């Protein structure tokens, strides 16, 4: 069974803390994505990785960085958390979307609150 696992369902962090959100997939997918979800704004792409050590900025990369040292793991890092980064964070993975019959699979989400 396909599985994307995010390390925490809920996190509360203080302003200025360095925060790590971890995502692991067991499907040997090339692509991994980090999105944040806010009411009325849908899912906005933060960063995307298409291979180990390879990354591309999404629409809202400011204040975030990512790390992909191994194919199965994609980490989102908030260097200095701020209250406007309070949100639901969703990780996804996929094979190449140029292959027919592929799709992106999502983790269950991490709800981060920065106080």
Partner 1 sequence: GQQLNQSPQSMFIQEGEDVSMNCTSSSIFNTWLWYKQDPGEGPVLLIALYKAGELTSNGRLTAQFGITRKDSFLNISASIPSDVGIYFCAGQLGNTDKLIFGTGTRLQVFP
Q: How far apart are CA 38 and CA 77, in angstroms?
A: 18
**Closer residue to partner 1 in complex, CB, 44/73:** 44
Q: Is 45 one of the binding residues for partner 1 (CB under 8 A)?
A: yes
**Closer residue to partner 1 in complex, CB, 13/105:** 105
Q: Is 75 one of the binding residues for partner 1 (CB under 8 A)?
A: no
Q: Is 4 one of the binding residues for partner 1 (CB under 8 A)?
A: yes
What's the number of CA atoms in the CB half-sphere (13 Å) around residue 11? 25
Q: Is 107 one of the binding residues for partner 1 (CB under 8 A)?
A: yes
Q: Could you tell me the CA-to-CA distances from 97 to 40, 65, 85, 89 in Å, in that order?
A: 26, 24, 29, 22
């Amino acid at each position: 069974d396909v599985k994307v696992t995010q390390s925490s369902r809920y996190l509360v962090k203080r302003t200025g803390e360095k925060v790590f959100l971890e995502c692991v997939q067991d499907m040997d997918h090339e692509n991994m994505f980090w999105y944040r979800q806010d009411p009325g704004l849908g899912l906005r792409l933060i960063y995307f990785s298409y291979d180990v050590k390879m990354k591309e900025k999404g629409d809202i990369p400011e204040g975030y960085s990512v790390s992909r040292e191994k194919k199965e793991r994609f980490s989102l890092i908030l260097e200095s958390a701020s209250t406007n980064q309070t949100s639901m964070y969703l990780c996804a993975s996929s094979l190449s979307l140029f292959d027919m019959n592929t799709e992106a699979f999502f983790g269950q989400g991490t709800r981060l609150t920065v106080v």
